Amino acid sequence: MSAVFHRLKEIEQKCLENAKDMPSADGTTDEWTGIGFKIAGVSLLSKMGEVTEILDTPSFTRVPGVHPWVVGIANVRGGLLPLMDLKRFLTGESISSLASARVMVVNHNGLHTGLMVEEVQGMRHFSLNEQAFELPEVNNDLKPYIRLAFQRDNEFWPVFSMHALIEDERFLHASL
């Protein structure tokens, strides 16, 4: 009987080892998923749930009486989508080519907006144990929106909070 018990313990150990890569019963995992993008040459991440859609730059109409970082308004599938140059909002410098920019659509607290970025780098997956305990040095314009970062192979990936941006009073007051 002790041989059978020993074999059952071996099977249990193998199951536990294989289960570490599986999601838990409550649906939580130890993986963080985000979208990589670039602003002012800096690679950033945004939490997957904060971005609802990614678009090529749609045709848009300029809007008078707004800050220069408000690019215009676009008709996307029958709805109006305000377009904002995220680089210009943060640094004062425009994206070099609006035609090649990508639009990350955010819908938070009833504000549906398109944030134009220089480049979208696709989905990025990180293990929660890759979270950096200290935030990397970033441009002062980005600091208010960086809440955490991940580190892989000596490269930092700061996480840019789209929700913090949308809640920023400066961002909410787009008119002059």
CATH 2.40.50.180 assigned to domain 25-172? The reply is yes
Q: Which amino acid is at 34?
A: G
**pTM for this structure?**
0.79
Strand order in the sheet with 42-47: 119-127, 31-39, 42-47, 155-160, 146-152
Using one digit for the tens of pLDDT, what is the confidence trace for 12-53? 666 656 655 555 544 556 899 999 999 988 899 999 999 999
Domain-wise residue ranges, the chain: 25-172
Provide the percentage of residues in the chain whose pLDDT is more than 90.
64
